[in-house]
Structure 1
Amino acid sequence: MLSIGIITRGKYGRRLLDTITRRTEFTVSSADIPPTLPDFIDDPAPFVDNLDLDPGVLSSDLLITYSLNPDITPEIVERAASAGAKAVIIPGGWAMAGDPEQMKEISAQYGTRILVEDICCDIGGDTYSPDPTINEFASVLGRPKLEVQVGDGKISNVKVICGAPCGSTWWMAEHLKGVPVSEAPAWAGLLVQQYPCRAVRGMTGGIHHSAELHKRAMEAAIKKYYGDND
């Protein structure tokens, strides 16, 4: 059974912790860091020492760190890798992850797979480089995959095969019941944007990319339903 450690920072990472507990059979542990950090941390090692992170969290099969700070994230990742973590996921994109070259060096030294994603509901995409640990996680949490049932031209049930780590896919699924099939993909995208996800909001990317992923997942599920029931 996959063990997952989560570094939370204030509100960030809490929904993932809840989703893993409610929706999966993975074992999970967490350690929290302060929501407010200095603007610049010149010497990350002693700073991370003072955070007193639980070694058991760092040594999980998979560490997901919401440290969201380019100064301390590489230090946390290296400590996890040296403690035996097989893979590390860093949400928030490279702006929050730190130096890509440093991450490559850590990965090469310890054999730890390091994945940096802007949004976690894109984990497990078609262009994704296979890794057993992350693939096990992404079989349940990551890019959405759905199955639907239809009655009288309306969605009667939505089964979440794989859902967003924040939990938005399950919330969307509940609210799609009774929606006309022709409108369901658009509603899927809209509902995900209404869910209080932490993804970046703006004109492009972030929550809008998540909405598009869920729209496509609903389109694929409807296509499969009618293909299976021809």
Structure 2
Amino acid sequence: MSSKSSSATDRVRHFGLETAAAVVLGLAAVTVAYAALPDVKQKPVASAPAAPAAPAVEPAPPPPVFECGNPVPGQLINSPFGLRRLPWEDHGRLHEGVDIAGPTGTKVVAVADGIVVRAGESPSYGRYVEIEHGVGLTSFYAHLGKIERVARKGAYVEAGKPIGRMGSSGTSTGPHVHFEIRQDDKPLNPLVFMNREFATVADLPLKLGAYVSPRVRIAYVSEIPESKKALMEAKAAKGKKGKGGKVRQTLRFNS
């Protein structure tokens, strides 16, 4: 090898050594500088406060299956459900509803929502309306002086809406409404239903409503229907014979 080639080789080797030494020194300086830095811990990022939970909303209870009002609000029952004997009768029989007396023309209202299944007139009940309420129960209103036009067969009527006016049609003893509650054509005591609501069908007081007291109540009436006057005369004549010529005193009629 010539002296020139040897000299060049030496310069390259020397340059490489200097470069390596510079790199090592640089890395050492960086390491020392990093070690000298203060220990900075990363602060936790504060999270946003959780939104308050919405209050639980309880579902609204379902409407009652049957809510029964009073056919003549504000008026009282003057003849209850049960065994009853009228002045012209010899024995007691079941009075299948309740009688509510009041002035002629007083509004008679539907006790619950329903469909009119019958409306008409008969010799005994006079003018009447019957309403089906969809839970196996019907309500019946008799001896009406007038049937409202809305209470026609097949019509839907709302609770509290007038279906007739109080009167004394049919075999009646004075202005009143005869009111019944029935299940499958079986009479129930309306008093256990009136002014009450029932959440389910199981709550309906069917057993209580079907109970009939064995006691026979003697009824006092304000007037004798024309169709019963002959019976009253026959009873008076029978009583006259039974008392040796003296007329037996019959029931005193009051209003």
- Normalised to the residue count of structure 2, the TM-score between the two structures is 0.23
Between structure 1 and structure 2, the one with the greater Rg is 2
Structure with the bigger percentage of strand: 2
Q: Which has the higher contact order (CA 8 A, sep 6+)?
A: 2
- Normalised to the residue count of structure 1, the TM-score between the two structures is 0.25
